[in-house]
Structure 1
Amino acid sequence: MKTSGLSELEAVLAVARHRNFRAAANAMSVSTSALSHAVAALEARIGVKLFNRTTRSVALTEAGAQFVDSVAPALSTIRDALDQAGSFRDTPSGTLRINTSAGAARQVMPVFVAFLKRYPEMKLDIVTEGRLIDIVVEGFDAGIRLAEIVPQDMIAVPFGDRQRFAVVGSPAYFSQHKPPRSPGDLNAHPCIRSRMPSGSIYQWEFERHGETVRIDGGGALTLDNPELMLEAARAGLGLAYLTEWNVDADLAAGTLVRVLEDWTPPLDGLCLYYPGRRHVPAGLRALVEMIREYADAKRGRASDKRKRRSPPAHGSRR
């Protein structure tokens, strides 16, 4: 009896994971028809229907669910074996799948660009979404998120500066409204509310001198995209609560004004994270090394900048 190819098994697992042929095909960088043919060929070979298909949904059959439960661990072992064999190559190759948020991806993009230039045989498949997922279950090699929300059972590699949030509004807005002096004053201001991927409204978090405050500010506008929140704040619709990374350019240009700065202490920055129980592919090891290089270089530049700003010691020669 012929054995099925790895590509067919990968196709089945992708469809089972995404519950959609088009999404699974996009994830595998193949056409929907090619993916459908691969699944159909495997079903024909083993003589069992693995999926129930309708025009609106795809679901595993009972046989399909048992098949996936049996095949997934074995295929993971095979991938690890291939990765280990590939690690002896002089140059890493293959595809890394990374899950992150859109904002984090923009911050890490310089590293991604440098990585692909250094390792031309590597490919990066970056998926951005707001919700925090299980990267192992969803088939990703690594994730990039704020350190405070990285699962504790993952290996985390710090990247980038510590992050702070900022409360901002436009100059036109503050020409008509008195700036808040404490978080409680926000109750008198229209706040541009932020909806989380879960559907809940994000509460603005403040801390000073050991006092912690959470505010669910009222406002006429609720958004789930930082860039839209920026546009609304620039237009004078109210106050927005965003990371410094998002608002720094506007603050420098004077199109936004910051308030309550002493109530927003820094948080740990971004981390690349991955499971520690698996063999680490050569490509992921190379990306981890590059992120560490980038972080070290950035710390060095920051240290040099502080030294240039520091006044010379008393009596020292110029």
Structure 2
Amino acid sequence: MVKPTLVDLTAFSTIATHRSFRVAADVLGVSPSSLSHAMRGLERGLGVRLLHRTTRSVSPTEAGEQLLARIRPVLGDLDAALDAVADARGQPSGTLRINGSESAIRLLLHTVVPRYLARYPEMSLDLVAEGRLVDIVEQGFDAGVRLGESLSPDMVAIPLGPDLRFLAVAAPGYLAGRKPIVTPDDLRAHHCIRQRLPSGKRYRWEFGKHGQEVTIDVPGVLTLDNSALLVEAAAAGMGIAYVPEGVARAWLDEGRLVSVLDTWCPMIPGLFLYYPGHRHVPAGLRAFIDEIRNTVT
């Protein structure tokens, strides 16, 4: 039996954890082909098959599961030791990968990111703006940024800003001469500009008042997949859109849009940076969290 290297064991653990050569390659900063070659060498050296491979998936064999269970604590202790050294130096290093919606990544770019990179020059940030909600662990991210209502309870969540709300908005010209909209049910008699979610599903508008919650699959002949486009379409008089207040605020202030059903649009938890509570928190992420707390009020 040939003794495996730390690099090979780290590669195996990353592949087995994410069950993907592609994701593991992104995390480790190498090519999938080099990882595949390294795993064949590791299996050959140990004389045992560690991974089941198909065209669509990768999973540990029984021997692979046993090895993974043994080396995970060791690799975790090693990460903690290296982080302790980084703490002693006062300068974390490496790459921090964060996934979030486009608006979330934009918020980070305008607030935390400049100060973080200036304070920690040995850190690199890999920010991925993605509409769909992903499993950050499975996809190899250190953290994610989403609305609070999207987070699972096993995540540690750090607030990035205040609560927010969605508003139903329309151009004054569209509303002129039409019956006032008093309740969400009144929307059924209007042209609504619907939104297609990244998952492919159509978003159902959600309203609430005095503990009463209403969800409506609104009617409409126009569907878009971007909040900024929804606002522009509404301002052009194409109907009523349901969008984050921040996206529509400039148009509302200029009078090009007005809101309806305000009392039915409650505040909801805003954006949060989140990460798994059961995993070791690397020094770079801890520094990013500290910067959030120092920057975002």
If the length of structure 1 is used for normalisation, what is the TM-score? 0.77
C-alpha offsets along residues 270-291 of structure 1, whole Å, 9 cap, x if unaligned? Answer: 2223344555333222212211
State the match for 1:292 in structure 2: 293
Letter in 2 for 1:244: E
Structure-2 residue corresponding to 1:105: 105
Distance change (3 Å), C-alpha of 1:63 and 1:262: same
- Distance in 1 between residues matched to 2:123 and 2:206, nearest whole Å: 40
2:59 corresponds in structure 1 to: 60
Residue 161 of structure 1 pairs with residue 162 of structure 2? yes
Do the aligned partners of residues 35 and 257 (structure 1) sit closer, same or farther apart at CA in structure 2, a change above 3 Å counting? farther
Q: Which runs of 5+ in 1 are unaligned?
A: 297-318
Number of paired residues? 295
- C-alpha separation between the residues in 2 aligned to 1:256 and 1:173? 10
Deviation at residue 112 of structure 1 after TM alignment: 1.6
C-alpha distance in structure 2 between counterparts of 1:70 and 1:220, whole Å: 57
Secondary structure of the structure 1 residue equivalent to 2:291 = helix
Q: Distance in 2 between matches of 1:38 and 1:253?
A: 60
Q: 1:33 to 1:182 in 2, by over 3 A?
A: same
In structure 2, C-alpha distance between the alignment counterparts of 1:51 and 1:278, rounded to whole Å? 23
Match of 1:310 in 2: none
**Equivalent residue, structure 2, for 1:299:** none
Distance verdict in 2 for CA 1:60–1:284, change over 3 Å: closer
1:272 aligns with 2:273: yes
Residue 147 of structure 2 corresponds to residue 146 of structure 1: yes
One-letter code of the match for 1:59? V
Offset at 1:93? 1.6
Alpha-carbon RMSD: 3.2
Per-residue CA deviation, residues 172-214 of structure 1 (Å, 9 max, x unaligned), is 5435755523211111123233344555443222223443322
State the one-letter code of the partner of 1:160. Answer: G
Alignment-derived partner of residue 309 in structure 1? none
Identical residues among aligned pairs (%): 48
Between the aligned partners of 2:70 and 2:154, the Cα distance in structure 1 is 24
- Partner residue in 2 for 1:186: 187
After superposition, the Cα gap between the structure-2 partners of 1:225 and 1:276, relative to the gap in structure 1 and judged at 3 Å, is: same
1:92–1:119 Cα contact (<8 Å) kept: yes
| C-alpha separation in 2, matches of 1:53 and 1:231 | 48
Distance in 2 (CA, whole Å) between partners of 1:52 and 1:16 is 10
Q: 1:62 to 1:222 in 2, by over 3 A?
A: farther
Shift of 1:90: 1.8
Q: How does the TM-score come out when normalised to structure 2? A: 0.81
